[in-house]
Each structure stands twice: as C-alpha cells, then as structure tokens.
Amino acid sequence: MGTFAGHIAPGSFFMLAAIWWTINIFKNFLKAKTKNGKPYRTQPWYPGPFCRDFPFESVMKLVTVTIGMAGELTTAFEHGVFEHLVNAQHMTMYFFFGLNGAMDLLRHYNFHLPNGIEAATGILAYGIEGFIFYNHLHGRSHMDIQVHMYLFYTIVMCVFSIFLEIWHQDWVLASLSRAYFTLMQGTWFCQVGFILYPPFAGMQQWDQTNHEQMMIITMIYTWHCAVDLVLMLLIGAAVWVWMKSCRLLDQVNYQQLSSEAVLVVPTSKSANNGINGHLNRHMQLPESDSDEV
C-alpha cells in the first residue's frame, strides 16, 4: 500500500462493498415496511442481484482479496528478493478478509459451522487490520501518522458497528452503521493516496510537517463524514424511487385486496355485512355500525 495504487485498490474495494450493503439494507428495510413484509433482520452478506442462490458477495470478497494479495506480492520483490516486509503486513490484512468471505461461502452451502461465524470473522478481519495499521507507523512523518490514525479510528468504528449488529439484529441503523464506516474507510483510503502519493504531474506536494496543513487534513476528514452520509441517503432515496416505480412496495397489498373483493357478489343484507367485515379486517378499518350499504 506504499503507493498511490496501493491505497486506491483497497479503498475501491471497501467503497463497493459499502454501496452494495447500503442498497440491500434499504431494500430489505423498505420491504419490511409493506403490509405483508417480514420483520427486518440484519444480514452479514447478500446474494446476487440476478440469482438468489448464487453467493455473489462471498465470491467477490475472495476475488478482490486475491487481486489485492497478488498486487502486494508482486511489488514486494526487488531483484528476486522479498525486500518490502510491509507488503507482508498488507497481505495479512487481505488474508483475514478472505477468511471472512470463505466463512460466508461455507455457511451458504450449509456446512456445519457455528451461527454468527460470519460476523465473528468480520470482527476479526477489521480488528487485525486496525491492529496492524496501528503498529506499523513507527518512524513516519507527523502527517503520515495523522492520516493513518484517522483510518485506524474508522476501522475501530467498523468493529463496533458489527458488535452493534449482533446485539440489535432488528435495528436497521446498526446495519447502516457498518456500511457507513466501511464507506468512510474506503473514501479515506483513497484520500490518503492523494495526500501522500499525488498521482498527477503538477499536483502540489503536502508539507508533512506543516501544522496548518495538518489542520486542513482534519477538516477534510470531517468532510468525508458528511459527504459519505449524504451519499448513503441518496442511495436510500434512489432505492425507494426504484421500488416504488416497480410497485414493489404496494403491489402485494392491492393484489390481495382486489383478488378477495372483486370475485364476491352480495346477495343479501347479511351476506353484504359479512363482506364488509372481511374487507374491513384486511384494510384495518373499523366496521360500520350501520346495517345499510
């Protein structure tokens, strides 16, 4: 990760994962709000968009981890010698996220594993990532330490959010907190790449010992907090608009109501009262006190 690409790659992986989670969390939450929807429950991972039986997210975790580890391995050698030991630390981080993806996959195919193993390995993956980041900043510039400590704080919140999901599996904000802090980690990863390794010619280098510029970086981090929150809200609004336009939020209620109401023709006052009571129960309206229709 000691390059611009080395920060953009994991940052992109985290951002894609967070956006994917956000879409599915809002979709499940809105479905739970329909009349016949099941109560909302958090999920450690989500199936594919086109094939519900395919563990899309689990496979993508393994693919991205393989890409990340391969990149770290190929850049670790110089003249046939493994020179950059920090790459071994980065590969270790990737490995634990790959372990989490493997547990997701095994649970999907009904291997006899303990319930909650996906959440446990997720906590382990984020925890190992934070532990390694916290302990490989020795001898770096003040600004380098600053930006990576902000990353460490975000990783700690990722761990906390998964614990929150375990304790409150029916609380949508617990699920969204995992997505939010993972998105924060992704966008900040990319920002660190631009700060420490400006990719374009003519970009001004940051003075890594300048206190005023370090204050600006603190402000930029808070901007990430705000922008990522707005982005998640926009994703939620887009999911709502899409589900509303596809009538996924109300079609079950109206179809059930029409199928029961249209096919019955009242033949007497008593039959009519019975129909009114049946419809009132489904519409959750109080029955009329009048015998007249």
Q: What is the pLDDT of residue 254?
A: 39
Q: How confident is the model at residue 52 (pLDDT cuts 50, 70, 90)?
A: confident
Count CB atoms within 10 A of the CB of residue 45.
Answer: 23
Q: What is the crossing angle of helices 142-167 and 172-196, to 10°?
A: 170
Using alpha carbons, list the distances in angstroms from residue 103 to 53, 61, 96: 16, 11, 11
Residue that has been written with the tokens 């596809």 in this structure? 246
Rounded Cα distance, 129 and 124, in Å: 8
Q: pLDDT by residue (tens digit) across 2-15?
A: 789 999 999 999 99
Alpha helices, H only, the chain: 4-32, 56-75, 85-108, 117-134, 142-167, 172-196, 211-245, 251-261, 269-283
- Gap between the Cα atoms of 182 and 170, Å rounded: 20
Reported as a single tens digit per residue, the pLDDT across 149-183 is: 999 999 999 999 999 999 999 999 999 999 999 99
pLDDT at 278 over 50: no
Give the number of other CB atoms < 10 A from CB of residue 259: 9
Does residue 42 contact residue 170 with C-beta atoms inside 8 Å? Answer: yes
User: Which pLDDT score is estimated for 139?
Assistant: 87
The CB-side HSE value for 133 (13 A sphere, CA atoms) comes to: 25
pTM exceeding 0.85: no
C-alpha span between 248 and 16 (Å, rounded):
25
Phi, psi dihedrals of residue 4, rounded to the nearest 5° = -60, -50
Q: How far is CA 286 from the centre of its chain?
A: 42
Encoded tokens for 177:
């907190």
What percent of the chain lies above the pLDDT cut of 70?
85
